[in-house]
Amino acid sequence: MSIHLIRDLETLHRDILSMCANVEEIIHLAVAGLFRYQRDLSSQLVERDKQIDRWDVKIEEDCLKILALHQPVAIDLRRITTVMKISAELERVADLGVNIAERAEGMASSSHLRVSPKMQEMATAALEMLHESIDAYVELDSRLAQKVCVEDSHVDVLNREIIQEVMQQLRENPLDVEPLMHLFSASRHIERVADHATNIAEEVIFVVEGRVVRHGGGTMSRPVPQ
């Protein structure tokens, strides 16, 4: 691997780490809005989401330049194409943050409703998965990536439990259907954050091991060159 390619890969890694940190903060702020009303939260996060969109475009352009200039092969090629996929996943997570903030604002006039503490637990778990999936990519750690994939089931369980609690509140307070549907949607959006983290982790496994594990796939029929 040339010195120039090593340098460009290191720059990509730093950009992905920075992008992920900003996306994590968007989700953190959005989830906090479910527990305490913040005026204009969604509009604030929309502006931050636009920054993530620009970051996504920049990373894609940088990846294409590296492919054109260095013509990498084997694992280097897989790493660069995976960066583009990771960037796209992070951009979608930022969109989910805006959606969660909008749901929080939809609940602002219904302060009597209970927001389950499991919502914060689920958000914390999903963000940890996201952070770990990026670490797994940078460190080429397929074991950590596999751990992320396993952790997704815990988030799924929390989401189902939260939805059951929402349905119970709906039975008790049928007039609160609109804000409770906002709460229902917020839970689904947080669960989707974990899904995107899992997608990233699955890409890491492919980079490191050459195995396609998404959609229940197994080992590739042909070995992938290292």
Residue 213 confidence (pLDDT): 85
Mean pLDDT of 30-51: 92
Neighbours of 24 (CB within 10 A): 21
Residue 221 confidence (pLDDT): 37
CATH class of 3-216: mainly alpha
Residue-wise pLDDT tens digits, 72-83? 988 889 999 999
Which residue, 140, 15, 4, is CA-closest to 66? 4
> Which residues, other chains included, contact 219 with Cβ-Cβ below 8 Å and sequence gap of 6+?
210, 211
**pLDDT band at residue 97 using 50, 70 and 90 as cut-offs:** very high
Q: 16-25, 120-129, 203-212 — which is least confidently predicted?
A: 203-212
Q: How many angstroms from the chain centroid is the CA of residue 211?
A: 21
Burial label for 87, CB within 10 Å (0-12, 13-18, 19+), is buried
Burial label for 19, CB within 10 Å (0-12, 13-18, 19+), is buried
Measured CA to CA in angstroms, residue 93 lies from 53, 61, 64, 98, 191 at distances of 11, 20, 23, 9, 11
Q: Read out DSSP for 131-186?
A: HHHHHHHHHT-HHHHHHHHHHHHHHHHHHHHHHHHHHHHHHH-GGGHHHHHHHHHH
The DSSP code for 109 is T
Residue-wise pLDDT tens digits, 161-196? 999 999 999 999 999 999 999 999 999 999 999 999
pLDDT at residue 220 tops 50: no
Residue 63 confidence (pLDDT): 96
The DSSP code for 112 is T
Alpha-carbon gap, residue 217 to 169, rounded angstroms: 40
pTM check: above 0.95: no
Residue 38 confidence (pLDDT): 81
The DSSP code for 110 is -
Which residue, 148, 146, 145, 153, is CA-closest to 128? 148
Alpha-carbon gap, residue 210 to 206, rounded angstroms: 4
pLDDT at residue 27 tops 60: yes
- What percentage of the chain carries pLDDT values higher than 70? 94
pLDDT at residue 225 tops 60: no
pLDDT at residue 150 tops 50: yes
- What percentage of the chain carries pLDDT values higher than 90? 80
pLDDT at residue 224 tops 50: no
**pLDDT band at residue 217 using 50, 70 and 90 as cut-offs:** low
Residue 223 confidence (pLDDT): 45
> Which residue's structure tokens are 């950009």?
15
Mean pLDDT (the chain) is 92
Residue-wise pLDDT tens digits, 126-139? 999 999 999 999 89
Structure tokens at 125: 């778990």
